[in-house]
């Protein structure tokens, strides 16, 4: 089956509730497998089969489905380059200035202004006799667009959208002689729409500015001259220059120069870092003080900055349960309130023979507040902002569904190596069996580990390569996740790994391990014979203990640690960071980690967070409610497998991500409560004749604005704990390892 996945801009997408309706319409089309329309980004992600018919014919169907909901809309396929350019232009001005220069918004303001003046004039006693005609002119002026939209919606058999509701309410108001109300409702509806549009633009813009972390061009050095070249055409090993004050366009290694770089847009850390020749620098960082020459190490696509961009931009399509619930709720809310309006107009008049005009007027209050706008906007605005705020702090959340899972979590499960510990093994000792010697032990181990990038492998190779070179390469190589490696050479097979691997390979003469030993031991065997072992020690991250305390403050009840390492080592590390002994599981293979995750999760019906580094724990990262991986520079597989990516290896970001999620959920719930609450109060007042249409429309627009402003608070979120975490001492800090926690 041939599947096509594409992303489009929906130009002219006007209302929040329309996006959900469009999704429903498009889903009905045959061959469409998946669709997500996001109001905040105005993007549509669609997946379809092109086996039975042409892509064109499917897209034609899609377009006509969309037009059914909103007539003056068109699709545009996203062109990444142009997309970037338009971002750039947008960013230079503030939103109000820009709005004032936007001819459409100016036109809107003029229309609203004139009809507001006309409305005021119509109140003046002197013009009393012209009241109807003045109001009618004001009404047509401000309502023309809404009326026109309603017309085309009716032709498309699409009722109950905001335009229809407003048209109905205002026309009925006119019919019963309430001209001022008719005009006012239309007027304030338009004002509300305008403000809402400006606020959504602002949210969008602030996210865009967070994402504006990659220059489009780099200064490429070719034969001693530099040419500004688009980053897409630069390859690894090319040499580029970065001037002070410029952003680093691509990941690379410094070949010349010294500088201080600001990593804040990648990691959220505000402290700049000193770099010199030989250091690696990441794209997206700002080169602050010196002139640098770099050798590029990654293409644009693989570079850190564009990885972050891709992840955040796709986040809008993974919706939270609350968002889904609210769109569903809005779908029933509007018709239900409309039905109530009809009953209010009809029953008292027909059954109790009350004056029709009075009850029709009361029913209009219902029609006005049946608009779902504030409601459908209230949640996505908060979550959209939260994703932006998190990414500003070096936490990339791949969708709002994970915000909710983070918020709801009561359990955090850590992988040990590289997550709670630094993953930088120091070799404590090398021991050899009488049949061999130390040199051979480290040599054979390094030969076998050549292809592995496990932290243990890295340190063994580093130790060996201090004095030697790897001269013989393996004929075949096998990595046993959570066990070790086995490599075949012309002189025999070498196994390097833990006792479990040795057992499965049937290696003889393995020495008994000292039960009290706190370090990680790796055995080395040639063919079936044990030749020696390497004892290594890893240290917990400096702030691990503090992070675990902070997690408790953030509402986490249980912290677990899983590891493929030995029990004694695991318990030693667990004790020093504050994980309870009964919450430590050792000797696990990757698939066993998944089983344990499942059984821990079963105990509570809340979501459980798994934090890993992608090394031997990808299965759990994928399957967990929220899989958090450490390090954007890490493996693509880990980034792909996880739901949240912490851009550096700072575990403090885990409680931080929970705080951000909790805050955004709080704002979202406040918004729901405010918008539903106010609507409900107005409904009650309306039934008893205490709320006029003026109050209804004020309440409706007012609530939308309050919800929008409330949601903006998430953009001002200040990290709770990142400034404190560097001075925390876990007792493992000596001069050497306290020096720099954040090498780049
Ligand atoms: P953790 O679960 O703590 O992240 P891993 O699952 O990565 O640890 O590894 C568990 C154990 O398996 C290690 O402590 C080590 O004994 C062994 N091991 C895994 N990979 C290797 C390797 N490449 N070389 C040697 N030993 C390895
Ligand atoms: Mg691991």
Q: Would you state the pLDDT for residue 459? A: 93
Those residues whose C-beta lies under 8 Å from the C-beta of residue 119, and which sit 6 or more positions away, are: 135, 138, 180, 183, 184, 187
Cβ atoms of residues 716 and 392 within 8 Å = no
Task: Give the ligand 1 atom nearest the CA of 452.
Answer: 23
pLDDT per position as a tens digit, 329-348: 888 888 888 898 889 888 88
- What pLDDT band is residue 647 in, cutting at 50, 70 and 90? confident
Q: Would you state the pLDDT for residue 328? A: 83
- Determine how many CB atoms are found less than 10 A away from the CB of residue 596: 15
Cβ atoms of residues 610 and 588 within 8 Å = no
Please, how many CA atoms are within 13 Å of residue 298, restricted to the half-sphere of its CB? 21
568 lines ligand 1 (CB under 6 A): no
Q: Would you state the pLDDT for residue 130? A: 83
User: Using CA positions, which residue lies closest to atom 24 of ligand 1?
Assistant: 484
Cβ atoms of residues 561 and 437 within 8 Å = no
Cβ atoms of residues 231 and 215 within 8 Å = yes
pLDDT: is 446 or 74 the higher one?
A: 446
Q: Would you state the pLDDT for residue 743? A: 34
Residue closest to 614 by CA, chosen among 600, 597, 631, 593: 631
Helix, strand, or coil here: 410? coil
Pocket test for ligand 1, best of 452, 544, 616, 638 (most atoms within 8 A of CB): 616
The pLDDT of residue 35 is above 60? yes
Residue closest to 71 by CA, chosen among 19, 6, 148, 144: 148
Cβ atoms of residues 661 and 406 within 8 Å = yes
Instruction: Tell me the percentage of the chain whose pLDDT exceeds 70.
Output: 92
- Determine how many CB atoms are found less than 10 A away from the CB of residue 554: 21
Distance CA 331, CA 17 (A): 8
Find the range with the poorest average confidence among 84-98, 534-548, 555-569: 84-98
Distance CA 515, CA 496 (A): 21
Those residues whose C-beta lies under 8 Å from the C-beta of residue 499, and which sit 6 or more positions away, are: 510, 513, 523, 566
Q: Would you state the pLDDT for residue 524? A: 95
The pLDDT of residue 627 is above 90? yes
pLDDT per position as a tens digit, 690-718: 888 888 888 888 888 888 889 889 888 88
Mean of pLDDT values over 661-674? 94
454 lines ligand 1 (CB under 6 A): yes
pLDDT per position as a tens digit, 472-486: 888 889 998 889 999
Residue 529 phi/psi, 5-degree rounding, is -110, 130
Q: Would you state the pLDDT for residue 638? A: 82
Residue closest to 361 by CA, chosen among 164, 170, 120, 183: 170
CB-neighbour burial class of residue 10 (10 A; exposed 0-12, middle 13-18, buried 19+):
buried
Q: How far is the CA of 85 from the centre of ligand 1 (A)?
A: 46
- 293 strand-pairing partners: 241, 256
Mean of pLDDT values over 523-538? 92
* pLDDT, averaged across the chain: 84
Those residues whose C-beta lies under 8 Å from the C-beta of residue 575, and which sit 6 or more positions away, are: 581
Mean of pLDDT values over 102-112? 82
Residue 188 phi/psi, 5-degree rounding, is -70, -30
Cβ atoms of residues 298 and 248 within 8 Å = no
Those residues whose C-beta lies under 8 Å from the C-beta of residue 466, and which sit 6 or more positions away, are: none
Pocket test for ligand 1, best of 425, 459, 498 (most atoms within 8 A of CB): 498
- What pLDDT band is residue 91 in, cutting at 50, 70 and 90? very low
Q: Would you state the pLDDT for residue 554? A: 92
Distance CA 442, CA 533 (A): 9
- 534 strand-pairing partners: 430, 522
536 lines ligand 1 (CB under 6 A): no
512 is catalytic: no
- Determine how many CB atoms are found less than 10 A away from the CB of residue 403: 31
Find the range with the poorest average confidence among 225-229, 245-249, 307-311, 363-367: 307-311
**Tokens 């059954």 -> residue:** 351
- Name the DSSP class of 246: P
pLDDT per position as a tens digit, 157-180: 777 777 888 888 889 888 888 888
CB-neighbour burial class of residue 223 (10 A; exposed 0-12, middle 13-18, buried 19+):
exposed
Cβ atoms of residues 628 and 611 within 8 Å = yes
Structure tokens at 411: 């359990």
Mean of pLDDT values over 532-553? 92
- Helix ranges restricted to H, 454-510: 455-465, 499-505
Cβ atoms of residues 139 and 170 within 8 Å = yes
206 lines ligand 1 (CB under 6 A): no
Find the range with the poorest average confidence among 12-16, 424-428, 518-522: 12-16
Q: Would you state the pLDDT for residue 663? A: 95
461 lines ligand 1 (CB under 6 A): no
CA 337 to chain centre: 35
Interior CA angle at 29 toward 27 and 35, to 5°?
A: 35
Ligand nearest to the CA of 564: 1
565 lines ligand 1 (CB under 6 A): yes
| DSSP-derived pairing of the beta strands 608-612 and 411-415 | parallel
Q: How far is the CA of 373 from the centre of ligand 1 (A)?
A: 53
Find the range with the poorest average confidence among 122-131, 139-148, 455-464: 122-131
CA dihedral 85, 87, 93, 97 (to 10 degrees): 110
Q: Would you state the pLDDT for residue 741? A: 39
Ligand nearest to the CA of 538: 1
- What pLDDT band is residue 100 in, cutting at 50, 70 and 90? low
483 lines ligand 1 (CB under 6 A): yes
563 lines ligand 1 (CB under 6 A): yes
452 lines ligand 1 (CB under 6 A): yes
Task: Give the ligand 1 atom nearest the CA of 615.
Answer: 7
Q: Would you state the pLDDT for residue 664? A: 94
Helix, strand, or coil here: 468? coil
pLDDT: is 439 or 224 the higher one?
A: 439
323 lines ligand 1 (CB under 6 A): no
- What pLDDT band is residue 90 in, cutting at 50, 70 and 90? very low
Task: Give the ligand 1 atom nearest the CA of 496.
Answer: 25
User: Using CA positions, which residue lies closest to atom 8 of ligand 1?
Assistant: 564
Distance CA 6, CA 20 (A): 18
Find the range with the poorest average confidence among 39-48, 246-255, 440-449, 541-550: 39-48
Task: Give the ligand 1 atom nearest the CA of 419.
Answer: 4
Q: Would you state the pLDDT for residue 715? A: 85
Q: Would you state the pLDDT for residue 456? A: 93
CA 366 to chain centre: 37
Asked whether the CA dihedral 49, 55, 60, 66 is positive or negative, the reply is: positive
- Distance in Å from the first CA to the final CA of the chain: 44
CB-neighbour burial class of residue 195 (10 A; exposed 0-12, middle 13-18, buried 19+):
middle
- What pLDDT band is residue 366 in, cutting at 50, 70 and 90? confident
pTM: 0.84
The pLDDT of residue 240 is above 90? yes
Catalytic residue among 212, 251, 279, 415: 415
pLDDT: is 186 or 209 the higher one?
A: 186
417 lines ligand 1 (CB under 6 A): yes
Q: Would you state the pLDDT for residue 430? A: 92
- Determine how many CB atoms are found less than 10 A away from the CB of residue 230: 14
The pLDDT of residue 189 is above 90? no
Ligand nearest to the CA of 482: 1
Interior CA angle at 399 toward 398 and 404, to 5°?
A: 120
Q: How far is the CA of 518 from the centre of ligand 2 (A)?
A: 18
Distance CA 726, CA 542 (A): 8
Cβ atoms of residues 260 and 242 within 8 Å = no
- What pLDDT band is residue 101 in, cutting at 50, 70 and 90? low
- What pLDDT band is residue 461 in, cutting at 50, 70 and 90? very high
The pLDDT of residue 580 is above 90? yes
**Tokens 């970065």 -> residue:** 242
388 lines ligand 1 (CB under 6 A): no
The pLDDT of residue 660 is above 90? yes
Cβ atoms of residues 294 and 744 within 8 Å = no
533 lines ligand 1 (CB under 6 A): no
Those residues whose C-beta lies under 8 Å from the C-beta of residue 333, and which sit 6 or more positions away, are: 370, 372, 375
Task: Give the ligand 1 atom nearest the CA of 565.
Answer: 14
Ligand nearest to the CA of 629: 2
Most confident of 51-65, 160-174, 442-456: 442-456
564 lines ligand 1 (CB under 6 A): yes
Q: List CB-based neighbours of ion ligand 2 within 5 Å.
A: 415, 417, 615-616
User: Using CA positions, which residue lies closest to atom 27 of ligand 1?
Assistant: 484
User: Using CA positions, which residue lies closest to atom 13 of ligand 1?
Assistant: 565
Ligand nearest to the CA of 477: 1
Task: Give the ligand 1 atom nearest the CA of 562.
Answer: 2
Distance CA 657, CA 651 (A): 10
The pLDDT of residue 89 is above 50? no
Q: How far is the CA of 564 from the centre of ligand 1 (A)?
A: 6
Pocket test for ligand 1, best of 483, 501, 505, 519 (most atoms within 8 A of CB): 483
Q: Would you state the pLDDT for residue 85? A: 47
Q: Would you state the pLDDT for residue 639? A: 84
Ligand nearest to the CA of 591: 1
Mean of pLDDT values over 258-283? 87
| DSSP-derived pairing of the beta strands 558-562 and 584-585 | parallel
Distance CA 141, CA 111 (A): 7
């Amino acid at each position: 089956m041939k599947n096509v996945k594409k992303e489009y801009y929906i130009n002219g997408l006007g209302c929040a509730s329309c996006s959900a309706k469009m999704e429903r319409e498009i889903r009905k089309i045959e061959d469409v497998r998946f669709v997500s329309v996001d109001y905040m980004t105005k993007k549509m992600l669609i997946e379809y089969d092109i086996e039975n018919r042409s892509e064109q014919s499917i897209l034609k169907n899609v377009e006509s489905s969309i037009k059914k909901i909103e007539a003056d809309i068109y699709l545009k396929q996203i062109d990444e380059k142009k997309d970037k350019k338009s971002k750039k232009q947008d960013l230079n001005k503030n939103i109000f200035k820009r709005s004032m220069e936007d001819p459409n918004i100016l036109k809107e303001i003029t229309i609203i202004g004139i009809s507001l003046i006309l409305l005021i004039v119509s109140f003046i006693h002197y013009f009393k006799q012209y009241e109807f005609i003045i109001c009618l002119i004001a009404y047509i002026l401000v309502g023309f667009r809404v009326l026109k939209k309603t017309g085309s919606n009716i032709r498309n058999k699409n009722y109950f959208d905001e335009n229809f509701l407003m048209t109905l309410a205002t026309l009925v108001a006119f019919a019963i002689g309430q001209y001022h109300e008719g005009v006012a409702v239309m007027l304030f509806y338009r004002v509300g729409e305008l403000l809402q549009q400006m606020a959504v633009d602002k949210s969008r813009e602030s996210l865009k500015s967070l994402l504006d972390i990659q220059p489009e061009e780099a200064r490429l050095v070719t034969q001693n001259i530099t040419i500004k070249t688009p980053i897409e055409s630069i390859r690894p090993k090319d040499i580029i220059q970065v001037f002070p004050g410029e952003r680093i366009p691509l990941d690379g290694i410094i070949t010349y120069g010294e500088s201080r770089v600001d990593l804040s847009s990648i990691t959220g850390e505000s402290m700049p870092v000193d770099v010199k020749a030989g250091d690696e620098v990441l794209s997206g960082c700002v080169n602050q003080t010196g002139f640098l020459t770099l050798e590029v190490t990654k293409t644009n696509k693989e570079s850190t900055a564009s990885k972050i961009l891709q992840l955040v931009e796709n986040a809008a399509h993974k919706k939270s349960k609350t968002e889904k619930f609210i769109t569903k709720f809005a779908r029933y809310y509007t018709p239900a309130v409309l039905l109530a309006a009809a009953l209010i107009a009809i029953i008292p008049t027909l059954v109790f023979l009350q004056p029709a005009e009075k009850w029709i007027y009361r029913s209009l209050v219902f029609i006005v507040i049946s608009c779902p706008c504030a409601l459908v906007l209230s949640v996505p605005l908060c979550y959209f902002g939260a994703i932006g705020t998190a990414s500003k702090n070096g936490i990339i959340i791949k969708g709002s569904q994970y915000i909710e899972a983070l918020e709801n979590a009561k359990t955090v499960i850590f992988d040990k190596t590289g997550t709670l510990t630094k993953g930088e093994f120091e070799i404590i000792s090398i021991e050899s069996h009488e049949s061999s010697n130390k040199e051979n032990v480290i040599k054979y181990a390094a030969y076998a580990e050549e292809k592995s990038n496990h932290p243990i492998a890295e340190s063994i190779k580093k130790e060996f390569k201090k004095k030697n070179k790897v001269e013989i390469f393996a004929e075949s190589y096998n990595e046993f996740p959570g066990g070790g490696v086995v490599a075949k050479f012309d002189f025999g097979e070498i196994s390097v790994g833990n006792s479990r691997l040795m057992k499965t390979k049937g290696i003889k003469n393995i020495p008994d391990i000292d039960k009290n030993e706190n370090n990680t031991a790796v055995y080395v065997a040639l063919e079936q014979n044990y030749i020696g072992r390497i004892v290594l020690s890893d240290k917990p991250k400096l702030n691990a203990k503090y992070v675990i305390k902070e997690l408790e403050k953030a509402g986490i009840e249980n912290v677990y640690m899983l590891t493929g390492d030995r029990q004694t080592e695991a318990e030693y590390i667990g004790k020093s960071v504050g994980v309870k002994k009964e919450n430590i599981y050792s000797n696990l293979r990757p698939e066993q980690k998944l089983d344990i995750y499942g059984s821990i999760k079963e105990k509570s019906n809340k979501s459980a967070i798994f934090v890993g580094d992608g090394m031997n724990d990808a299965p759990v990262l994928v399957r967990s409610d929220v899989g958090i991986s450490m390090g954007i520079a890490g493996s693509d597989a880990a980034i792909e497998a996880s739901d949240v990516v912490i851009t550096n290896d700072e575990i403090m970001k885990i409680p931080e991500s929970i705080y951000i999620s909790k805050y955004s959920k709080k704002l979202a719930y406040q918004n729901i409560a405010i918008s539903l609450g106010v609507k409900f109060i107005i409904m009650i007042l309306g039934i008893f004749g205490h709320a006029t249409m003026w109050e209804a429309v004020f309440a409706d627009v007012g609530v939308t604005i309050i919800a929008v402003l409330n949601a903006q608070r998430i953009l001002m979120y200040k990290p709770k704990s990142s400034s404190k975490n560097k001075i925390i001492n876990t007792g493992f800090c000596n001069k050497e390892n306290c020096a720099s926690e954040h090498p780049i």
